[in-house]
Amino acid sequence: MVNDEVVKTPKQKVMETDVVTVNGEEVIYQKYHYFLLNKPKGVLSATEDRSQKTVISLLKPEDQYQGISPVGRLDKDTTGLLLLTNDGQLNHELLAPAKHVDKVYRAKIAGVANDETVKAFEKGLTLGDGTKLKPAVLKILKQDVASDSSEIEIRIQEGKYHQIKRMFAAQGMKVVELDRISMGNLTLPADLKRGEYIKLSLDEVESIK
């Protein structure tokens, strides 16, 4: 029904101000959709793949709207915060280097990160292939000389291919585990398990923008 009148033709047109109901339930039109996913390991940050599972397959069938895609990419073995939306403009703005959107990760490292590592990241690294990176903020959470390992938190504003892994490789270390905990104003809820997601409210979306 449209405005309490039974629709008798599929050619019926509606305005956004019209009230549309089906079996007594009001149908609310929403152009854009936003989901916050806690990405598990072993899943691709892609919309489709012939042989491997993608993050889209983690959405319920009714949430797999046309145009839904991940904002940026997390490597297959990287976990944590991933935003999925069909809002192309927001997708672009969150990824544009000029927008300076912070992305924070926690990682376990094979190798002992120290003050020299922090200073090197602060200056902005140049990778082996000549790629120059913006300065990054590195915080050392734990050092274990005996096991030659570290736990760190890193804040970057870029999202180049395997960036954090390549940054530590340039310092002679290896990233063992990598988990994104925030992106801009978005943070993962503590009770959101791996592979689960939540719908973002319009207020939350506005805070991102």
Q: Give tens-digit pLDDT for 64-109.
A: 999 999 998 899 999 999 999 999 988 888 887 777 789 999 999 9
* pLDDT of 45 over the 90 cut: yes
Instruction: Tell me which of 49, 75, 115, 203 is the catalytic residue.
Output: 75
CA distance 183 to 167: 19
Q: Which amino acid is at 56?
A: I
pLDDT at 46 over 80: yes
Three-state secondary-structure class, residue 58:
helix
Residue 160: pLDDT over 90: no
φ, ψ for residue 163, nearest 5 deg: -55, -55
pLDDT value of residue 96 = 77
Q: What is the pLDDT of residues 1-12, one digit of tens each?
A: 999 999 999 999
**Would you place residue 22 in the very low, low, confident or very high pLDDT band (cuts 50, 70, 90)?**
very high
Model confidence, pTM: 0.85
User: 42 vs 39, 77, 121, 195, CA distance in Å?
Assistant: 9, 6, 29, 11
Q: Is 148 a catalytic residue?
A: no
Question: What digits encode the pLDDT tens for the residues 162-204?
Answer: 999 999 999 999 999 999 999 988 999 999 999 999 999 888 8
Q: How far is CA 98 from CA 16, 95, 101, in A?
A: 35, 9, 8
The answer to whether residue 13 scores a pLDDT higher than 80 is yes
